[in-house]
Each structure stands twice: as structure tokens, then as C-alpha cells.
Amino acid sequence: MALQTHPAVASMREVHWVVRMNYRGRTVSWGMIFAVCVLLGQERAWSWGHWVALVLQFVAYPQLSYLLARHSAEPVRSELRILTLDSFCFGLWMSWMGAPLWLAYALCACGAMTLAAFRGMGGLYQAVLAQASGALCGVLLWGFEFRPDMGPASTALSMASLTTYLWIFAHAVNVRTHRLNRIRWQLKDSERALQQQLLEISALQSQLREQANRDALTGLFNRRFLDATMDRELARCQRMAEPLSLILIDIDHFKNINDTFGHAAGDEVLRRLAFLLSTDARSSDVVCRHGGEEFLLMLPHMPLAVAMARAERYRSMLESSVMLIEGKRMRCTLSAGVACYPVHGKGPSELMAAADSALYRAKRTGRNRIERAAEDLSTKSVPA
Ligand SMILES: Nc1nc2c(ncn2[C@@H]2O[C@H](COP(=O)(O)OP(=O)(O)OP(=O)(O)O)[C@@H](O)[C@H]2O)c(=O)[nH]1
């Protein structure tokens, strides 16, 4: 069964903790000081006017000040002002009673300590000043009187009320410290969780970036990545007066492979060729799946002759290898067109078109061949 909080306790919890703590301190320890004053009043035979003032100060005032602070727009500021007023009233009472030793000590200590706790040394000076002002007003109103003697019962009760007030204060500070520590640990835990999530997000982002540039079937770069890098690589080779070769590869009669062995077997052929093309690639080479059964290698700083030799190596390796896919032996061949900057064009589209027409020629002239692009006579600045 869930524990129900009493409405009075729940509404008290909504009050600012400074107001709540001082209310408790005032109600309990001021109640005890009230009892001390009653003893003292009996010892000193006070008039009824003094008894009324006593009830107003130590019974009514704590309740009124609590209501005032609680309903104020700025409860803490209002509470601190009330604390200053407390000290002033203590000064008045001390002056009027002739500063009975233990009672005066208890009042001064409580007033000064509370303000110092919230405002530091400034609060201490403020409390002392308020108490001195109260005492001075008392002297001006009723004249100077000094009667430090107190009976044993009122002395003991003064000590008890001071001790009780200190205990209430210490308890509130302790509860506060525990709560703050708990919040600090919760914040640390949240921060750790947040850091972890940020790490996961950045890992996911880089994974997404990588996936966006990769072909899902073969793991090679995709056309999107090639388009994004070709301009940059060509510009670099232009600056360095270096060649850049393109090898456009197409598997021969791939449709037959699909039709004979099935689409899954066709996929496996694409994966194996992708593996073959990337095994001896340099770090600067971009090996990509250009679409369907077409692959493109962009080879910066590679002259045409070397690119031709490399394409020929791939062709002969594929021709001579027998693939065992799903228990079936399979052979296939490739055709390729090779173009090179600057011999066959200056821009990406010219080079691509040159490689494509070379590939077309290789297909047309029997397949399982490597063809170099037709030379572009307008571009003859860097020898390939
Ligand atoms: N298994 C598989 N097949 C694909 C994929 N992408 C394209 N294809 C197939 O590749 C075949 C390409 O056929 P074509 O363009 O006629 O060319 P080809 O049969 O290789 O003939 P040539 O290129 O003229 O030698 C088509 O049947 C497509 O369905 C793929 O990701 N996986």
C-alpha cells in the first residue's frame, strides 16, 4: 500500500527549505525561551503588559513571520529580513530584562549564528548591529538596567533551548548536505550516461557516413563516393602534373550467370570480383562498384601503361580461376576499358566517356579483353 503524505506535511514541503528550517527553529527553541521568560517573569513579578508582549513575541511572532516569508514573492530574501528583525527584538528583550546572562547568551548566539550561516561574516555583523540597535532602543525607552543573575531552572532551560536550536540547525544542514550529495551523484551518473550516448551517437554517425559511401553487397565504395572524390583527385594530379587512370570493368554475360546459376550465385560472383579488385589496391586507389555488374577503379598517379597491365592482370586472374559457388563450378570473364588523364580527357566526364567507349569496344570485339581509350589529341601536356 502506498504511503499517503499528510496534506499539511506535503504543503510544508513546498515551502523553501530556509523558511521551513527557521520556522522549526523558532517554534521549538523560542517555545523553550518563552518558558525561560515565564520562569524569569515569575521571579521578577512582571506586569500583565509584559506577559502580553512575551506571548506576542515568542508565540505569535514565529507564526506570523512564517506566513509572511512563505507567501512572499521572494521567500529567502524575506526570511533573511525577518532574521534581522529577530536580532533587533532580542536586543530589545535583553535590554528590557537587564541582560540575564544565559538567556542573553542564548539569544545573541542563535541570532548571530543563523544570519552568519546564510550570509557569512556580513550576516554576523548584521546580527550584532541589529542586536546592539535593539539594546540601545531598549535603553532609550526604559533606561539602563543590568541584572545578569538567573535562577538555576531558568539557566538550565536557557542552555537547553540553545542546545535544541543548535541541534535543529545541525540536523537541517545535515539533511541538506545529504540531499546535495545525492543530487551531485545523480548528476554525475547522468553525465556519464550522456557521455556514453554521445560516444554511441558519434560512432553511429561515422558508421552512417561510411555506409552512405559504401555498396551494401560488395563493401566497395559506391558511385556517390567516386563522384565526390574524382574532382578532388583530378585537381591534385593536375597540380602535380601527374597522370590519373580509370579502369572500367564489366563482367561478361553476367545475365547468363544469373539465369543459369541463380541471382544469389550472381551476387557471390560480384563479391568475389570485388575482393579480387581490392586485394592489391594502393591506399590512394578508389575501387568502386559503379552499378550492376560494372566496377570502376580510379588510380591517381598511375600512368596508362601500368593501368593497362593491372587491368590485364585482373582479366587473366578471373579467366583462369574456377569459382565453386554452392557446389557448382563456374568460370567467368571480364572486359575493361582504360582511360588516363590527361591523354584521354581533362575532366571526369570526358575520362569516364573515354573509358566507357573503350569498354564498349572490348565488348564489341569479342569480350574478355582490355581496351585502351582512343587518344584525345587536344590534350598532350603530360606524358602518360
Ligand atoms: N545477381 C545480381 N545481378 C545483377 C545485379 N545488378 C545487376 N544484375 C544483373 O546483371 C545483368 C546485366 O546484364 P546485361 O546488362 O544484359 O549485361 P551482360 O549479361 O553482362 O552482358 P554483357 O555486359 O554484354 O557481356 C542483368 O541481368 C541484371 O539483372 C546484382 O546486384 N546482383
Of 98-102, 108-112, 117-121, 356-360, which one has max mean pLDDT?
A: 356-360
Residue 181 φ/ψ, nearest 5 degrees: -65, -40
The CA 327 to ligand 1 mean position distance, Å, reads 22
What stretch of H or E contains 287?
strand 286-291
pLDDT at 58 over 80: yes
Pairing label, strands 286-291, 244-251: unpaired
CA distance 291 to 372: 21
* Averaged pLDDT, 30-56: 92
- Is 293 tagged catalytic? yes
Q: How confident is residue 382, by pLDDT bands cut at 50, 70 and 90?
A: very low
Is pTM beyond 0.80 here? no
What does the block give as the cell for 233?
583527385
Task: Judge contact between 343 and 375, C-beta under 8 A.
Answer: yes
Boundary (domain end) residue, out of 161, 185, 209: 185
The number of the ligand 1 atom at minimal distance from the alpha carbon of 255 is 19
Which has the closest alpha carbon to 36: 168, 141, 164? 164
Is pLDDT larger for residue 3 or for residue 92? 92
Give the largest CA-CA distance in the chain. 131
206 lies in a domain?
A: no
pLDDT at 50 over 50: yes
Cβ neighbourhood burial of 174 (10 Å; 0-12, 13-18, 19+): exposed
The CA 293 to ligand 1 mean position distance, Å, reads 6
**Which pLDDT tens digit goes with each residue over 146-182?**
999 888 988 998 999 889 888 888 888 899 899 999 9
pLDDT at 383: 43
The CA 29 to ligand 1 mean position distance, Å, reads 93
Residues 179 and 88 in one domain: yes
The number of the ligand 1 atom at minimal distance from the alpha carbon of 264 is 1
Residues 27 and 168 in one domain: yes
Query: For the chain, what is the mean pLDDT?
Result: 90
Task: Judge contact between 225 and 286, C-beta under 8 A.
Answer: yes
Residues 54 and 165 in one domain: yes
Cβ neighbourhood burial of 138 (10 Å; 0-12, 13-18, 19+): buried
Ligand 1: which of 293, 364, 365 to mutate, most ligand atoms within 8 Å of CB? Answer: 293
**Which pLDDT tens digit goes with each residue over 314-372?**
999 999 999 888 788 889 999 999 999 999 999 999 999 999 999 999 999 999 999 99
Task: Report the length, in residues, of the chain.
Answer: 384
Residues 263 and 354 in one domain: yes
201 lies in a domain?
A: no
* Averaged pLDDT, 122-132: 95
Residues 141 and 290 in one domain: no
The CA 292 to ligand 1 mean position distance, Å, reads 6
Ligand 1 atom 7: residue of nearest CA: 292
CA distances in angstroms from 300 to 42, 213, 236, 306, 339, listed in the order given: 108, 19, 9, 12, 12
pLDDT at 233 over 60: yes
What does the block give as the cell for 236?
591534385
CA distance 179 to 169: 15
1 lies in a domain?
A: no
377 lies in a domain?
A: no
Ligand 1 atom 32: residue of nearest CA: 267
| Percent of the chain surpassing pLDDT 70 | 94
Boundary (domain end) residue, out of 157, 185, 213: 185
What does the block give as the cell for 157?
532551560
Residues 257 and 114 in one domain: no
Ligand 1 atom 5: residue of nearest CA: 292
The number of the ligand 1 atom at minimal distance from the alpha carbon of 266 is 1
Residues 248 and 355 in one domain: yes
CA distance 335 to 352: 16
203 lies in a domain?
A: no
102 lies in a domain?
A: yes
* Averaged pLDDT, 292-306: 96
Cβ neighbourhood burial of 141 (10 Å; 0-12, 13-18, 19+): exposed
234 lies in a domain?
A: yes
Residues 145 and 23 in one domain: yes
Residue 324 carries which side chain, given as an amino acid letter? L
What stretch of H or E contains 349?
helix 348-364
Residues 111 and 230 in one domain: no
CA distance 30 to 183: 33
The CA 24 to ligand 1 mean position distance, Å, reads 86
pLDDT at 240: 94
What does the block give as the cell for 171?
540536523
Radius of gyration, alpha carbons of the chain: 47
205 lies in a domain?
A: no
pLDDT at 380 over 60: no
The CA 276 to ligand 1 mean position distance, Å, reads 19
Find the Cα–Cα–Cα–Cα dihedral 115, 120, 122, 124, rounded to 10°. Answer: 50
∠ CA 18-19-25, rounded to 5°: 90
Buried b (16+ CB within 10 A) or exposed e, 301-322: bbbbeebbebbeebbeebeeee
Residues 53 and 161 in one domain: yes
What does the block give as the cell for 350?
570526358
Residue 340: give its domain's CATH number: 3.30.70.270
Residues 258 and 340 in one domain: yes
Ligand 1 atom 6: residue of nearest CA: 292
Give the structural domain span for 259. Answer: 223-372
Residues with CB under 6 A from ligand 1: 217, 250-255, 258, 263, 266-267, 270, 292-293, 363, 367
Task: Judge contact between 106 and 153, C-beta under 8 A.
Answer: no
* Averaged pLDDT, 30-40: 91
* Domain tally, the chain: 2
What is the SS3 assignment for 250?
A: strand
Ligand 1 atom 24: residue of nearest CA: 253
| H runs (alpha helix) in the chain | 7-13, 17-44, 48-55, 61-70, 75-97, 101-119, 121-142, 152-212, 223-239, 254-261, 263-279, 304-320, 348-364
Boundary (domain end) residue, out of 166, 185, 204: 185
Residues 234 and 339 in one domain: yes
**Which pLDDT tens digit goes with each residue over 238-272?**
999 999 999 999 999 999 999 998 999 999 999 99
List the catalytic residue out of 79, 233, 293, 371: 293
CA distances in angstroms from 118 to 123, 190, 336, listed in the order given: 7, 30, 84
